[in-house]
């Protein structure tokens, strides 16, 4: 009796393991699931999708996200095969903080950050104790502070890879900072004196770099990258995605979608 119960238990466990493990259907080699941020980056991926299928026979299944965190979670959990929305410093911070194994495999464009304001025409008119909105994710938070430093508004302690507001050494205008999700910054401008906003969110909000009172230089190291997982790094479908994203068609589409603000980085 005990033996039969033991055999029955082993069979039950085996069935459960099979059910949990076998429910994950392998993704075909000619299909790649790619995560992007909702807005013009997703529109750009639609162009790459056409190129990938036409030239390389690879179908791109696009998954749009509305924040900067979820695309990497989805990739780490293998719910997508690649994502295209972040730069290397952001990926490095995420991998270190979460223990991820995500790998960069290509570059796309630099999308310059800008300082935007509904109240000011230039930085020269920035009043004392102005409230400045900045992204709250670690890498873009650091990038925004570096931009404010390059504009001469603050000075940061040197030597830190991803500085935060506590690393501000000099703040001659006594600026105050409000940390928000990057996607919320355009909507929050009415309650701020100025905000540091990524092009990804400025364009859908009806703003262009011409509206910014200060713009990140085109030599910025923050180029967007194509990211995947180790087991797909050398795969045909990832190679096809890279080639499609680095195509002339995508470059031309980026010029139109981002109103001349997307700079080729490959």
Query: pLDDT tens for residues 171-221?
Result: 999 999 999 999 999 999 999 999 999 988 998 899 988 899 999 876 777
Q: Could you report the per-residue pLDDT of 31-48, keeping only the tens digit for each? A: 999 999 999 899 999 999
Domains observed in the chain? 31-112+221-264 (3.40.190.10), 114-215 (3.40.190.10)
The overall average pLDDT reported for the chain is 90
**How far is residue 143's CA from residue 158's CA, in Å, rounded to a whole number?**
14
pTM for this entry:
0.69
The mean pLDDT value for 239-247 works out to: 99
What is the percent of the chain where pLDDT is above 90?
Answer: 73
What count of Cα atoms within 13 Å lies in the side-chain half-sphere of residue 22? 6
Residues whose CB is less than 8 angstroms from the CB of residue 245 and which lie 6 or more positions away in sequence, other chains included: 48, 84, 106, 108, 226
Instruction: Quote the pLDDT of residue 24.
Output: 61
Instruction: Quote the pLDDT of residue 17.
Output: 43
């Amino acid at each position: 009796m005990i033996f039969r119960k033991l055999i029955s238990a082993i069979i039950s466990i085996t069935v459960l393991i099979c059910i949990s493990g076998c429910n994950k259907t392998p993704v075909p080699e000619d299909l790649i699931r790619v995560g992007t941020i909702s807005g013009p980056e997703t529109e750009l991926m639609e162009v790459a999708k056409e190129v990938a299928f036409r030239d390389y026979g690879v179908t791109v299944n696009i998954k749009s996200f509305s924040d900067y965190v979820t695309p990497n979670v989805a990739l780490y959990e293998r719910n997508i095969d690649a994502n295209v929305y972040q730069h290397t410093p952001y990926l490095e911070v995420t991998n270190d903080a979460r223990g991820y194994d995500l790998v960069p495999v290509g570059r796309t464009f630099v999308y310059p950050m800008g300082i935007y304001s509904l109240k000011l025409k230039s930085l020269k008119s920035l009043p004392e104790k102005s409230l400045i909105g900045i992204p709250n994710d670690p890498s873009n938070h650091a990038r925004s502070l570096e931009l404010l430093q390059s504009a001469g508004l603050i000075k940061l302690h040197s030597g830190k890879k991803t500085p935060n507001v506590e690393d501000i050494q000099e703040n001659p205008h006594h600026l105050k900072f409000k940390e928000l999700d990057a996607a919320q910054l355009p909507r929050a401008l009415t309650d701020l004196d100025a905000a540091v906003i990524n092009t990804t969110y400025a364009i859908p909000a009806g703003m262009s770099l011409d509206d910014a009172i200060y713009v990140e230089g085109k030599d910025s190291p923050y180029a967007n990258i194509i990211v995947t997982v180790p087991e797909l790094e050398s795969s045909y479908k990832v190679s096809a995605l890279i080639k499609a994203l680095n195509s002339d068609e995508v470059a031309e589409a980026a010029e139109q979608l981002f109103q001349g603000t997307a700079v080729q980085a490959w």
